[in-house]
Amino acid sequence: MVQRVAVVTGGSQGTGAAIAARLLADGFDVALTFTGDGDAAQRMADGIAVTGRRVLALRADSGQVTDNSAMVARVMAEFGRIDVLVCAAGFQVPDGLPAAGLAAFLLDVAVRGTMLEAIAAADHMGRDGRMIFVAPAPGAPSGVTGGPAVDAASLHGPAEAALTRFAQGLARDLGPHGITVNVVRPGPADGATQSGMVPPYYEAGDDLVDFVAFLASGPAGFISGATVVAERSKTDAAA
């Protein structure tokens, strides 16, 4: 039996770490990337390790071509294959950014970084490969600080749109090779409203991790080029 390998960018904390842990539990060997404290990332990787599965923590800046090329080369040297790529580095938006800083982060990491990661991994992914882009989503409506009254949702929207169009194009390009490409974004938190001009709060939890795990699985091979919202229906949530 061939051992499948998943790469989770931004996998050393928060939602990325939860996704990495789930894929390990589902039987994948996992490589995860980080940009901060290497010792902390390794401790996290050791903490989610599953007996019989390998975890590799790699420092890589998602927005840099050389870092992505080196990351993929290291994964191939260690594991020999890439079956799943989860781009989650752009999901964990730093707190307290001014509007211009948030816009720069979204473009550099969430959009450009995802594109570079996908391009770097595509040449090493075979049939039944999976690419999953985790779209950034605003937290509180006042998610930016200082300057003009620009709401975080106004900045996240273009980033999500860019990821959606990129996924659609890449799904078309890679479909003949048996590779699927999809976007997952978190749904509104409980009690949030989409009505009027009040943007909703968003949260990432088990639903988002479940969606990513499903899209990484064999039975999800019929879904590609889609953007799915990780939000259970009221009936499912009450069950």
How many Å separate Cα 50 from the centre of its chain? 21
Between residues 187 and 140, the one the model is more confident about? 187
Q: In the structure, what pLDDT confidence band is assigned to residue 236 with cuts at 50, 70 and 90?
A: very low
DSSP structure string for 202-221: B--SHHHHHHHHHHTSGGGG
So where are the chain's domains?
Answer: 5-230
Tell me which residue of 36, 20, 35 sits closest to 68, measured CA to CA.
Answer: 35
**Is the per-residue pLDDT at 50 higher than 50?**
yes
Instruction: Report the amino acid identity of residue 230.
Output: A
Look at domain 5-230 and name its CATH class. Answer: alpha beta
Lowest mean pLDDT among 113-127, 131-145, 147-161, 168-182: 131-145
pTM: 0.85
Q: Which two tokens stand for residue 143?
A: 């998610």
Write down the pLDDT at residue 184. Answer: 93
Q: Which residues contact 219 (CB under 8 A, 6 or more apart)?
A: none
3-state secondary structure of 11: coil
Q: In the structure, what pLDDT confidence band is assigned to residue 193 with cuts at 50, 70 and 90?
A: very low
Write down the pLDDT at residue 239. Answer: 47
Residue 229, judged by CB atoms within 10 A of its CB (0-12, 13-18, 19+), counts as: middle
